[in-house]
Amino acid sequence: MTARKSEFSEDFRDQLDLLMRLRRDVRRFRDTPVDEAVLTRCLDAIRLAPSVGLSEPWRILRIDSETARAAALKNFETANAEALAGYSGENAKIYSQLKLTGMQDAPVQLAVYCDDSTTKGRGLGAGTMPEMRRYSVVTAITLFWLALRAEGLGLGWVSILDPEQLNRDLNVPDDWQLIGYFCLGHPEETSETPELEQKGWETRQDRLKIETR
């Protein structure tokens, strides 16, 4: 078979670039429900992700019950208050004004885990660096994030949490490591600029620095 230049058109590449530019961490959601068929399609993107040794170590919990959601939100509020207490001056002022979760109103919420004890993949590639399993889950989240964005949906990653408390509240196996708590829904707005940049917390680098050895 002769090698083709690319299976994808220039138009497609432009669209892909736009998709990546418009992927945002979303913390503000409309109350429009998420279509289940669309959600399933986006979740299927996770199955396409690379994983060390083909271990597919992702484990996904859908957080639907009032009790589980309330426990997760309380967990965030406690961790966020502790985080705020660690800042002072201008940092504390800006931090206190940031909205760092959409857990209050996101129609779909997921807790995503890495199963550190999986035997799938027979340990290939994870011998010297077992953390590669967790990185595999992160790559899967990235595909999921883009798939959602392509459907007009947004995702917000919440990491300001006490993972041990959350694991107890959600009754997860000991070998599962929390990768993140994710809020999904229809975003209130679209922007090419990260919200943390808009709010004056941090800026995105304008060029990629590459060192050579």
Ligand X SMILES: Cc1cc2nc3c(=O)[nH]c(=O)nc-3n(C[C@H](O)[C@H](O)[C@H](O)COP(=O)(O)O)c2cc1C
Residues 88-127 as x/- pattern, contact with ligand X by CB under 6 A: ------------xx--------------------------
Bridge partners (DSSP) of residue 62 are 110
Closest to ligand X by CB, 106 vs 170, is 106
- 177: which 2 tokens? 């490591």
Closest to ligand X by CB, 31 vs 202, is 202
Coil/strand/helix, residue 127: coil
Position 59 contacts ligand X (CB under 6 A): no
Number of residue whose CB is nearest ligand X: 194
Contact status, residue 78 vs residue 162, Cβ threshold 8 Å:
yes
Spatial separation of the C-alpha atoms in residues 103 and 170, rounded to whole Å:
15
Position 149 contacts ligand X (CB under 6 A): no
Spatial separation of the C-alpha atoms in residues 31 and 152, rounded to whole Å:
14
Q: Could you tell me which stretch among 23-31, 109-117, 127-135, 163-171 binds ligand X (CB under 6 A)?
A: 23-31
Tell me how many residues contact ligand X (CB under 6 A).
Answer: 12
Position 158 contacts ligand X (CB under 6 A): yes
Closest to ligand X by CB, 32 vs 142, is 142
Q: Nearest Cα to 127, choosing from 39, 48, 53? A: 53
Q: How far is the CB of 37 from ligand X (least distance, A)?
A: 26
Let me know how many helices (H) and strands (E) the chain has, helices first: 7, 4
Q: How far is the CB of 112 from ligand X (least distance, A)?
A: 11
Spatial separation of the C-alpha atoms in residues 57 and 113, rounded to whole Å:
8
Position 24 contacts ligand X (CB under 6 A): yes
